[in-house]
Homo-oligomer: A and B are copies of this chain.
Amino acid sequence: MFIKNTWYVACSASEVSDKPFGRRICNEPIVFFRDAQDVIQALEDFCPHRGAPLSLGRVVDGRLVCGYHGLEMGCEGKTIAMPGQRVGGFPPIKKYAVTERHGFIWVWPGDAQAADLTQMPQLEWADNPAWAYGGGMYHVACDYRLMVDNLMDLTHETYVHATSIGQPEIDETPCVTKIDGDHVTTSRFMNGIEAPPFWKMALRGNNLPDDQLVDRWQICHFTPPSHIMIEVGVALAGNGGYDAPDDKKAYSVVVDFLTPETETSMWYFWGMARRFNVGDAALTDAIREGQGKIFSEDLQMLESQQRNLLRMPQRKLLSLNIDAGGVQSRRVIDRYLALEPAN
């Protein structure tokens, strides 16, 4: 059961070039390709002729051609042509609403007629020259909601990411969770602390000293279906913290788009948008490398947790204070799931 009438990141825009690209999303196999006008299109990845994946085919003059027997599929899911055949009676395949924005391909796995571009997330940092962005993608063998829990409760940083962004002050500082409609926010502010290694690197990246006390903040924003933007950063202590001027802090947004693949696997699009030293490509690379290493540390934990839960489905888990962000986010997910048509 998935929220299908919503926008998910399917892939980065560069993954769909002159070849079709297949990916399973919300348990639906989908093929993405660019039409003659270079506009992204998405269809069921299933040739109506013999069931071959259309993603193994090719794109010829903007038409999707099956790689098995040359059936030409139109952008609406109706077969256009096939060598030596009349195709009028061929059953259509599902067309998906899809769009390209902010360097990503976004797909609406539900009813294409209901797709609503106004529901796309607003991303201040995207296509904005005042920001720099770098990121990557991981396949993770867990229910995407375990990743929601993970990202809406950063106390795990102290344990899972002890050598990079974890520090005991995270544990010692309570977080505050607020709900505003579908928007769940969990915040933590730590003042007058030592910056952990990742943030020392970021301070240097903004030409700031890394040996002074800092104020640190983490503000996790969940919006449905499973987009999580985390405002993170450190400011030299005594300059206003989160509100400090840009030349006294390193301010970033951790970008997390979680896209379900199956009930127990997901595509994890992660990245960091920063508002300092944006022209420094080497810094972008260094941050991506550091963040990629940090997020890979979560994978073993989440996949092991998933296996444990599958083995012991009867066990109840606890929902503690620190879990409030995940608990509230799951309530939003549940509300949207209830709105989905029965499959």
- Candidate in A50, A57, A68, A312 with the most chain B CB atoms within 10 angstroms: A50
Determine the residue in chain B with the shortest Cβ distance to A298. Answer: B68
Which of B29, B85, B311 is the one whose CB lies under 8 Å from A321?
B85
Judge whether B46 and A308 touch: CB under 8 Å: yes
**Given the complex, which residues of B lie within 8 Å of A82, measured CB to CB?**
320
Judge whether B84 and A304 touch: CB under 8 Å: no
Known: A51-B317, A69-B153, A82-B320. 15 other contacts (CB 8 A): A29-B311, A45-B308, A48-B318, A51-B305, A51-B308, A52-B304, A53-B305, A53-B308, A57-B159, A67-B301, A70-B155, A83-B155, A84-B172, A84-B174, A85-B321
Q: Please report the C-alpha to C-alpha distance between residue A171 and residue B53 in the assembled complex, in whole angstroms.
A: 20
Would you call A56 an interface residue if the criterion is a C-beta within 8 Å of the partner chain's C-beta atoms? yes
**Given the complex, which residues of B lie within 8 Å of A66, measured CB to CB?**
159
Interface size on A, residues (CB 8 A): 49
Contact with B along A149-168 (1 / 0, CB 8 A): 10001011011100000000
The number of times this chain is found in the oligomer is 3
**Given the complex, which residues of B lie within 8 Å of A320, measured CB to CB?**
49, 82, 85
Distance in angstroms from A313 CB to nearest chain B CB is 10
Q: Please report the C-alpha to C-alpha distance between residue A56 and residue B302 in the assembled complex, in whole angstroms.
A: 11
- Which A residues, 296 to 320, have Cβ-Cβ distances below 8 Å to chain B? 300-301, 304-305, 308-309, 311-312, 315-318, 320
Would you call A3 an interface residue if the criterion is a C-beta within 8 Å of the partner chain's C-beta atoms? no
Distance in angstroms from A220 CB to nearest chain B CB is 15
Q: Which 4 A-B pairs have CB atoms at the shortest separation, nearest pair first? A: A83-B171, A52-B305, A51-B308, A53-B304
Q: Please report the C-alpha to C-alpha distance between residue A155 and residue B68 in the assembled complex, in whole angstroms.
A: 8
Which of B45, B300, B318, B321 is the one whose CB lies under 8 Å from A50?
B318
Determine the residue in chain B with the shortest Cβ distance to A84. Answer: B174
Would you call A65 an interface residue if the criterion is a C-beta within 8 Å of the partner chain's C-beta atoms? yes
Determine the residue in chain B with the shortest Cβ distance to A90. Answer: B318
Distance in angstroms from A29 CB to nearest chain B CB is 7
Judge whether B322 and A29 touch: CB under 8 Å: no
